[in-house]
Amino acid sequence: MGKLRKYGIIFLVLLMALAAAPMAMAATATEIGQGNIGDLFMAEGDYILSEDIVLSGTTKAIELSKDIKVTLDLNGHTISADTSTYRNLRNDPKDYGSIIYATSGDITIKDGVGGGKIWDTSAAEYSKHNDGVIRVEKGTHLTIEKAIIEVKEGIGITTYDDGTRVTFKDGEIKVEYGFGIGTNGSSITEPGSGIYVEGGTITVASADSAAIYHPSSGTLNISGGTLSAADGIQVKAGRVIITGGTITATGKHNVPPDGKFSGGGTNELGNALSLISHKNYKGQSMDVKISGSAMLIAEHADAIGVYVNSGDESHVDSFVITGGTYSSDPSAYVESPYVVKQVEGKYVVALAGVAVTPTAAELVLGLTPTAKLTASSDTKETFTWSSKNDDVVTVDNSGNITAVGAGTADVTATGATSKSVGTCVVTVRAATPVSVTPSKMELNIGATGKATAKYDAKDSITWESSDTAVATVKDGTVTAVKAGIAVITAKGSKTSAACTVTVTDPAAPDPVTPTPAPVDAGTVDKENNPVNKEEGKPENVEAATPAITEATEEGKAAVVSATKIEEKNLVATADGKLTISPVLAKSALEEVISADATVAPKNVVLLPIVKAAVTANNVAALAFTMTGEQLGAEENTVAGDVKVIKVLADGKGGQFSYASAAADYADKTFTLKDADGKSLALTDKVAKASTYTLVVFVADNGDFDLDATAGSVIDPVAVATNAATEPKSGGSSSGCNGGFGALALLAFAVLPFIRREKR
């Protein structure tokens, strides 16, 4: 334990030493007080005030004349002086009327505490101390990170166009009369000079004053901050770039009738930005660019004033406005593709905008697949149209859009001149097919019933009866007229759905054949068809994928063409699928009943018409999923009670035989399989709540293939269900059953389209 304590103490000491090392290595700022003010800026490094400093005629200006880099932290303190007491009008450099005077080097002034100030306390008139509270020249770089610079009459910062650079990031310049920042010189001496205002505030209170006075070459760049004076900025030369900040002119517009005013210093113009061409500054051009979020406000005059004074030559070589907000209309300086818009009483310059109408559109495949978009611009220009996803929607050169596939895509219009982009968000969806409830209806003569249709919001429907002599319909209300079968159809633009209506005469009911009604059976693709797993099935038996045919005009026409079934004998199911007419199905069923007394159905259902491809001349195995309830099962129903009937085009019928073993699969047979894929024996029960797979076998080019095209099968199937019989005493649910019981599964196979495939 002793050793552990010892090592622990050593480790702790090492940690403390490491933590202290950075502090030891960090440079320490030199503290400056009244007693050692003469040491300020004598060497490169950081300085920090320890107290307020008052300069006198003895100390005079704080000077930097060395090419060194220094930083001064005001630390919440003030450096003050009455510069009028020591300003030498003979311009001896030491006696300039400034608190800080630099002719070289790089100075950064900051205030880590806040409230730090450089203050000229003089109350003398402007002409007695206009050298600037801070004066920099001869290539000096000055950065004000944060400070208060204050003078009653004078200039906050004076700079020259000799490579000197002033950056004002934050803080305040407060002047009663004079300039916040001013340059000096009327001739170009060295390019590269600059004033950069990034933030803070510059306030000059009196008339005939400016926040910034720029009569010489170099760059004036304003990207932020708040400037307020009688005249915002007065420029007589140089490059002006304004991208941000707020410039406010509070003064009057006092210009003589002849438009001429004094050549030196500022003038009472009242503009946020004044560009003054004067003969004394001949040869010094002005290039101006205003953009971004700049705000120029004049309370009593135009926001921008351009003047040619004391001479007839304009020195403004270029003036471009591409952004900003103004108190007056700057259109004279704005060119296409930029425009001026009035917003809340102000004038805003922006790139001409492009708008697309509508901004959002919905296309419905098969219903409203096209639409027209329009584009507009704030300026006169043409447009280029484009879709971000041509798999969803396409657009032509005129803005016409066409749906391609479900999804969402932006359609844009791009201005040829402005390059601005307008967008419409286009949503493409599949149409909601028409559906009808109930799927079947039984009425006595004279009675009425109500069929209800659901359909797409972009669609509309009409109601039709297949046989108005049996039943009529108006707005979904069905009226029974005479005994028979009628299909009541809700017909939409592309899809239809129907209700099968059986009208009964109570005085003479049909004792034999129930009305076939459509059922919503599922389909099984060829990959999942259970016959694939069975051994012993004939080589020519091939699983095929049954594709349900939608109840559209196109779907109906395809079936008519392939099978020769009359169009009137093709009807819609309640959920919009195509099936065989119950009238034709009943005709086929009655023919089968007349030939086979064991077929005495209590219930008949119709499967939707399906289409499948199969190798030419092979036997297609078409699989459907159905519940026992859909099969018409009762408590004692067995597989032998299920009969599948083929409905032929002429209304005649044929019967499929049952095959419980794979070896027996052949044309005109069917089988029922349980959830495990096992075929039921004829005596196996069919439970109402269970799900089964019904597989029908149709040979390409066989008797049950109505489609003349080799390799294509179309198969409407009806399931006819006899009433279940009571089991005999001692009977079993398996073994031989003396005949197919009560369930006749009418497989109205409108013979599968079997499309030939090369071996």
Q: How far apart are CA 146 and CA 65, in angstroms?
A: 23
- In this prediction, residues 736-745 reach a mean pLDDT of 39
Q: How far apart are CA 202 and CA 181, in angstroms?
A: 8
Please determine, for residue 15, whether its predicted confidence score (pLDDT) is greater than 60. Answer: no
Q: Where are the domains of the chain?
A: 27-349, 354-430, 435-511, 522-755
pLDDT for 758 equals 36
Q: How far apart are CA 759 and CA 754, in angstroms?
A: 14
Q: Per residue in 518-530, pLDDT tens?
A: 888 999 999 999 9
Q: Per residue in 604-629, pLDDT tens?
A: 889 898 889 999 999 999 999 999 99
Element containing residue 584 per DSSP (H, E): helix 582-595
Please determine, for residue 184, whether its predicted confidence score (pLDDT) is greater than 50. Answer: yes
Higher pLDDT, 226 or 738: 226
Token pair 């509309």 is at which residue? 460
Label residue 511 by pLDDT band (50, 70, 90).
low
The CATH fold assigned to 354-430 is Immunoglobulin-like (2.60.40)
Q: Per residue in 370-383, pLDDT tens?
A: 999 999 999 999 99
Q: How far apart are CA 449 and CA 575, in angstroms?
A: 19
The identity of residue 205, as a single letter, is: A
Contact 118, 134 (CB under 8 A): yes
Higher pLDDT, 25 or 444: 444
Which of 216-220, 281-285, 541-545, 672-676 has the lowest average pLDDT?
281-285
Q: Per residue in 394-445, pLDDT tens?
A: 999 999 999 999 999 999 999 999 999 999 999 999 999 999 999 999 999 9
Strands 172-184 and 210-214: parallel
Percentage, residues of the chain above pLDDT 70 = 85
- In this prediction, residues 679-695 reach a mean pLDDT of 95
pLDDT for 126 equals 67
pLDDT for 217 equals 83
Tell which residue, 339, 264, 282, 333, has the closest CA to residue 305: 333
Q: How far apart are CA 117 and CA 126, in angstroms?
A: 20
The total of other beta-carbon atoms located within 10 Å of residue 206's CB is: 16
pLDDT for 726 equals 65
Q: Per residue in 164-183, pLDDT tens?
A: 999 999 999 999 999 999 98
Q: What is the CATH number of domain 435-511?
A: 2.60.40.1080
Q: How far apart are the first and last CA of the chain?
A: 88
Domain pair 354-430 / 435-511, same fold: yes
Label residue 86 by pLDDT band (50, 70, 90).
low
pLDDT for 510 equals 67
Please determine, for residue 716, whether its predicted confidence score (pLDDT) is greater than 80. Answer: no
pLDDT for 87 equals 55
- In this prediction, residues 296-320 reach a mean pLDDT of 89
Percentage, residues of the chain above pLDDT 90 = 62
Q: How far apart are CA 159 and CA 194, in angstroms?
A: 9
Q: What is the mean pLDDT of the chain?
A: 86
Sign of CA dihedral 400, 403, 404, 406: positive
- In this prediction, residues 215-224 reach a mean pLDDT of 92
Tokens of 530: 């259970």
